[in-house]
Amino acid sequence: MSETLLFSPLSIRGVELKNRIVVPPMHQYSAIKGFPTDWHLMNAGKFAAGGAGLVVVESTKVERRGCGTVGDLGIWDDKFIEPLGRLVKFIKQQNAAVGIQLGHSGRKARATRPWEGDRPLQRTPEIDDWEEWTPVAPSAIAHSEKWPVPRALERQEVKDLVQAWGEAARRADAAGFDVLELHGAHGYLVHEFLSEKSNQRSDEYGGSELNRMRFITEVTEAVRMHWPAHKPLFVRLSVEDNAGWGPEQSARLATILKPKGVDVIDCSSGGITDVAPILGKEIKYSYQVPLSEYVKRHADIMTMAVGLIIHGDQAEQILRDGQADLIAVGREILNNPNWPMDAALKLGVEGPFRNVPPQFGYWLGTRDKRGFGTQPSTFQNGLRDPGKVS
């Protein structure tokens, strides 16, 4: 298979992606007081060098209260523009487009890192703004029994947060990002407004489905005021959350957001409760892809598929079946940062190393010409001598 959709370019507004492979935002929990470190440069850089068309920097918080852990990235002040710009510059040097996800943890803020127990954080002397870092939410309803009850946002605070998202978009543009994604999934603040389980407000931001959509709608409008018209805007949704919000609601929301400037819906699931929608179901390859297909077909909008997408031919089939326009490869690209190159080889793409920097591509190309590419190994039966290849 030399002609593929996976490795065909895609133009969204004024940005052209060299292929349809996206490294989705994945928390690293490694920032220092909101600032990126060399870890972030290495982490994002290796994915860009591996050949992905778009690398999206992890959920970056629009205000201090929105940090989930002490290691979350921040963009609530202009002082973050320059260090984030360093990431942008390096990723672009590898011929990849670069995106950033804007988020707010809401009632799931002030927590330990996942490998530290994923539970409410205990106060320590090192956290000098503990009182200011108070979890907030649409309503004073805890995520679960183990989580504290958040403080319900005042109406003016909601308005202020809308503007905070807009200002964060301005900073993301100033830092040089090509693509912006709004995090509206996984039980964080935007998702909390959408869900009737977590949103029991009696003002214009609660009650009816349309009212519960108001926050993300106003955030989108504020972001588009600061985010250039030639740059794409994505929104990540938990298309199914096992708590009253499902594909039908997500498709209706997408039809509202599209004319306001949203180009792609990133289709995930879960997070509003500790019970994931996938529990009790068979976990298999592409298990969340039907969510992407539903939104794409019912909202007439581009979508990005996620969820146990492991193999190149699997990703190619998703695109050929019209279930998505972009493929997000998350945990598998953690396992193999050169996944795009590997997929190109296995799909028989002409010039499989053209998507990677010459520091990789030149030397791998010379090996491939000698027949030491992805063919089945014959080393054990002595038909080849790897010692002849430098």
Sort strands 21-23 and 326-328 into parallel, antiparallel or unpaired. parallel
> 339: Cβ–Cβ under 8 A, 6 or more apart, which residues?
21, 50, 51, 52, 329, 332, 333
Set 188, 205, 285, 287: catalytic member: 188
How many Å apart are CA 292 and CA 321, to the nearest integer?
12
Cα angle for residues 89, 92, 93 (degrees, 5° grid): 85
Cα torsion 3, 6, 7, 8: sign: positive
Return d(Cα 223, Cα 268) in angstroms, integer.
22
Only one residue has tokens 């964080």, namely 188
- Whole-angstrom Cα distance, residue 372 to residue 385? 10
102 close to 181: Cβ distance less than 8 angstroms: yes
Name the residue with tokens 């972009």: 326
Report which DSSP code applies to 116. Answer: G
The type of residue at 131 is E
Name residue 144's beta-bridge partners. none
Which residues lie closer than 8 Å to 208 by C-beta, 6 or more apart?
A: none
Is 188 in the active site?
Answer: yes
> What count of other Cβ atoms lies within 10 Å of the Cβ of residue 319?
19
Which one-letter DSSP state was computed for residue 201? Answer: -
Residue numbers annotated as active site:
188
